Amino acid sequence: MGENQSVYIMLTDTGTLFTKSIKKYTKAPYNHASISFDRNLQELYSFGRKNPSNPINGGFVKEDVFKGTYSKYPETTCVIYRLDVSKRDIDKMRRVLNVFKKNESKFLYNLLGVIGVSLKEPVEFSNSYFCSQFVAEVLHRSGIRLWDKPPVLVTPDDFRSNENFHHVYEGKLFEYGPIKNEGRT
């Protein structure tokens, strides 16, 4: 059964004003979720800032640890989880992701959804997502059902409390082995 593979879920806290205000409400240590197809986090996707300097302009993003938003926040803390899946699951996830990539400009950041999830009231708009909703949606559309609620109600903390995710690392993002080593080159 050599077809088992993994995807990685990274939860982060950049310490920005936006995350501080969300954290006040959620009391959760991490308030941003991303999905990666490799443990080095080189292929990392989420819904977040299009421009590191502008928290308002958000949408679907391929995140870059060294050049994107994280590079502006060197004290970012994170937790990284591994989810074991089949090659077929990965293929399905990549197909879902390609829809996002091809239609990148049509997708918006679902700020009202962030408020809705905190009130446990789903606020959905077509082509509009927030980070954990997006990650849960990619998994859900690929046939991986991990929660008894729709993706629009999945919070970053739901990843922490789900036993299907295997803990890989927790600490400062730039201290994470593969990133720390790559940053030296």
Question: 63 Cβ partners below 8 Å, 6+ apart?
Answer: 34, 44, 45, 46, 48, 69, 70
Write out pLDDT tens, residues 78-127.
999 999 999 999 999 999 999 999 998 888 888 777 777 777 787 777 88
Residue 43 has pLDDT above 80, yes or no: yes
The residue with tokens 């990148």 is 104
Task: Output the six-digit token pair for 24.
Answer: 């006040």
What b/e readout covers 89-103, taking b as 16+ CB neighbours within 10 angstroms?
bbebbeeebeebeee
Q: Checking DSSP bridges between strand 108-109 and strand 128-129, what pairing results, if any?
A: parallel
Q: Which residue has the higher pLDDT, 126 or 176?
A: 176
Q: Is the pTM of this model over 0.85?
A: yes
pLDDT for res 16: 77
Domain ranges of the chain: 4-184
Can you point out the beta strands (E) in the chain? 4-13, 32-36, 44-51, 54-63, 77-86, 108-109, 128-129, 166-172
Contact (CB, 8 A) for 54 and 132: no
User: Taking 90 as the threshold, does the pLDDT of residue 48 lie above it?
Assistant: no
Topology of 4-184 in CATH? endopeptidase fold (from Nostoc punctiforme) (3.90.1720)
Residue 171 vs residue 23, higher pLDDT: 171
